[in-house]
Structure 1
Amino acid sequence: MRSLLSAIHFFLPPSPIEAIISSAKENGEAVAASVLKDLANQYPVITDQVQQFQEHFNKIIEDAKDLKRELVDNNIDPTVVHDHLTREAANIIETLRTEFDKPLPDELEERARYRNQMISKALDHVEDAFVFICDQSGHLSEQDARRIFAPVKKAIQDGLFIIGDFVDKNPELIGAIAISAVCFLIPESFILRPILSVFGFGPAGPLNGPLASWIQSRLLGGAVAKSNPFARFQRAAMKVVAKL
């Protein structure tokens, strides 16, 4: 039987891909783990990177679950938070455009430093939006809102740093990493989906338009194109996320 990773590399038609992603709705961690296991087996030289990726995305999921529990315990509807962050996404990207007007550098260390600064700044803006809606609810102070958001912010930041570094060094494996990340994140999409939109991805995959194109180019240096496997997996995955 062809492995999941082999399926990715051989560009299966959309229906099998969507079937894989659909199964992630209930078993996201298991699906992602299977893809990553195939990846490590076929490319032993990147085993440590794959393990690091898996550990950090497990951390994102656990922190997202904790955040959701904190919101519910404080009588804040997670859907209200989700909707507010979604509305703020375009404003956040527009703000970033004024602060990061240069393309990603070619030199890898300089590229990583520039991208990581942008990711950190973007998440600062997401945090501010999160704090605002929590404070407006009257159930959480600004200090407490920042406290409960801090773990998921740090986990997402580290995860995005890892993806950027991995794609820089292994651009041919972007499809496998994309499907793994999406499968990990689908079960906790209530908070993670609007944050993904800040980085240029929405319910139908990579978003269109100048803002989305700009943020995608700053993250991956043009590696995301509609014709490549990354876009295919994003489109399939986000169709499932949109139904959650």
Structure 2
Amino acid sequence: MLGHHAQDYAASLIHEAVQEVDATVVAQLRHFQYVIQVVVSDTEHLKEVIAQAGDKPFDEIQHGIEKVFADLLEELKEQGNVSLVIRKAEEAFIRLGVQHGVPENQLRTHLDLIVKHVEDIVVTVGDLAEQHPILLETLIVSGIMLIIPESWFLRPLFGLFGMSTEGPVAGSAAAWAQGRFYGAYIPKGSWFSHLQRAGMKGASRWIW
């Protein structure tokens, strides 16, 4: 239910934004929205593969992802190459999945599609935020809201690029991404107003 509220609210933010920009930016915003929806769908399929093929409870791999990606942030300090960060994340996740009994070929089949689109999203957001800084809050808030249905994987993955409400680790890949792509962060307190508008009061702990 929270996921539906979040996605409806994200759609409303993007709808408001397209009323204020030119046709080129509208196309970029629509592309951003569409690609995130594709990523969410692909990640849902990935979850099904893991749940069916894995030899341990799904919760275990979810906790493992958070640790693996936190370690990856430390490893990728000062790294400014989007493609490299994406590939490192993919390989780290595959190693984790194989440890939990999921065949590598199945993981790669699904992950190759996901990471390609994630790279597209990161670059699109960066370009839009650089050209139209006023769109930054809409992009970050709507992006995070849209990935909520599959946040078990997408939240820590996008977190590598600073697309998070928690702020980047100094000197990390996320800190680099904040400066290179996103600029200043959304003030933490403003998230409560977004949650209230989305009809998701009290959901901040669940989301972040």
TM-score, normalised on structure 2? 0.80
Residues 147 and 187 (structure 1 numbering): CA distance in 2 closer, same or farther, change over 3 Å?
same
- Match of 2:198? none
CA distance in 2, matches of 1:180, 1:35: 7
Q: Which runs of 5+ in 1 are unaligned?
A: 1-22, 101-117
CA distance in 2, matches of 1:215, 1:207: 9
Superimposed CA distance per residue, residues 162-200 of structure 1 (whole angstroms, 9 cap, x where no aligned partner): 111111111121011111111101121111111123223
Contact 1:200 1:206 in 2 (8 A): yes
Q: Which runs of 5+ in 2 are unaligned?
A: 196-201
- Match of 1:53? 32
Cα drift, residue 156 of structure 1: 1.3
CA distance in 2, matches of 1:79, 1:218: 34
Matches within 5 A, 1:203-218: 205-211=166-172, 212-218=174-180
Which amino acid letter does the alignment assign opposite residue 128 of structure 1?
E
- 1:69 equivalent to 2:48? Answer yes
- Match of 1:103? none
Q: Which of structures 1 and 2 has the bigger CA Rg?
A: 1
- 1:123 equivalent to 2:102? Answer no
- Match of 1:3? none
TM-score, normalised on structure 1? 0.70
Residues 230 and 55 (structure 1 numbering): CA distance in 2 closer, same or farther, change over 3 Å?
farther
Contact 1:189 1:241 in 2 (8 A): no
Q: Percent identity?
A: 21
Cα drift, residue 208 of structure 1: 4.8
Superimposed CA distance per residue, residues 112-163 of structure 1 (whole angstroms, 9 cap, x where no aligned partner): xxxxxx221111111111111111123x232322122112212211111111
Cα drift, residue 231 of structure 1: 8.0
CA distance in 2, matches of 1:182, 1:149: 19
- Match of 1:151? 113
Which amino acid letter does the alignment assign opposite residue 29 of structure 2?
V
Contact 1:206 1:234 in 2 (8 A): no
- Match of 2:144? 182
Residues 174 and 129 (structure 1 numbering): CA distance in 2 closer, same or farther, change over 3 Å?
same
CA distance in 2, matches of 1:82, 1:68: 10
Contact 1:57 1:181 in 2 (8 A): yes
Runs of 4+, deviation exceeding 6 Å = 234-237
Report the 3-state secondary structure (helix = DSSP H, G, I; strand = E; otherwise coil) of the residue aligned with 2:77: helix
- 1:25 equivalent to 2:13? Answer no
Contact 1:64 1:152 in 2 (8 A): yes
Matches within 5 A, 1:69-148: 69-75=48-54, 77-97=57-77, 99-100=79-80, 118-138=81-101, 140-148=102-110
